[in-house]
A and B are shown apart, each in its own frame.
Chain A
Amino acid sequence: DSGVTQTPKHLITATGQRVTLRCSPRSGDLSVYWYQQSLDQGLQFLIQYYNGEERAKGNILERFSAQQFPDLHSELNLSSLELGDSALYFCASSVALAGYNEQFFGPGTRLTVL
């Protein structure tokens, strides 16, 4: 158990819909990362927050957005869903910003878009 929690574990929805994925980082971790894992693209970095502020963006679609709240939990919002958005979405957390800090990964949310 990494200490990072993600809800829900599974999500099945239809094209065009909007969903929200939630992540609670490890106690004391200020940095939260979102990654998408799909068969064709592999593990791709989406976005990073540190203490409530966005710090880095990766291959995140405009239809996707995220935020980190004062209690440090984070939400990833996916809208106008397409079949290709079906993937495993991971949240990870680390104590600080820098790249040498170990990232602890949650168990993921599996999104299926029908």
Chain B
Amino acid sequence: AQSVTQPDIHITVSEGASLELRCNYSYGATPYLFWYVQSPGQGLQLLLKYFSGDTLVQGIKGFEAEFKRSQSSFNLRKPSVHWSDAAEYFCAVGARGGSQGNLIFGKGTKLSVKP
């Protein structure tokens, strides 16, 4: 069965420090991969996505993610965190092929930013 694991429930980083959020997936083939962010009281916003090609993808707000097939991972990174990045981050997979577009989400990683 498809699944997504985000091993870190909560991470605290200092403002200006670098950030890496981990995501591992279990899927029969290479799925479509997404990172979403949820600010308090808000819906989810897409940060970036991977479909094929270059394994390093750039997203909005200065985020990037790297797909590593051998590790079944899609980790999210940011070189310098801003206080406004405090939010919850969700990794998700979508199935290739077929007509079902639903996403399977990880449990999320809550990011706190220290001043």
Q: Which of A's residues lie within 8 Å of B, judged by CB?
A: 2, 4, 31, 33, 35, 42-45, 48, 50, 55-56, 58, 90, 92, 94, 96-108
Contact = CB atoms under 8 A, between A and B. Distances in A.
B31 to A, nearest CB: 8
A50 B101 CA distance: 10
Contacts of A96: 101
Interface string B58-101: 00000000000000000000000000000000100011101111
Contacts of B56: none
Interface of B: 31-32, 36, 41-46, 49, 51, 90, 94-96, 98-108
B101 A58 contact: no
Nearest to B108: A42
A90 B92 CA distance: 15
A108 to B, nearest CB: 6
B61 to A, nearest CB: 16
Nearest to B107: A42
23 contacts: A2-B45, A33-B102, A35-B105, A42-B105, A42-B106, A42-B107, A45-B103, A45-B104, A48-B100, A50-B99, A55-B100, A58-B102, A94-B101, A96-B101, A97-B100, A97-B101, A98-B99, A99-B31, A99-B102, A103-B46, A105-B36, A105-B44, A106-B43
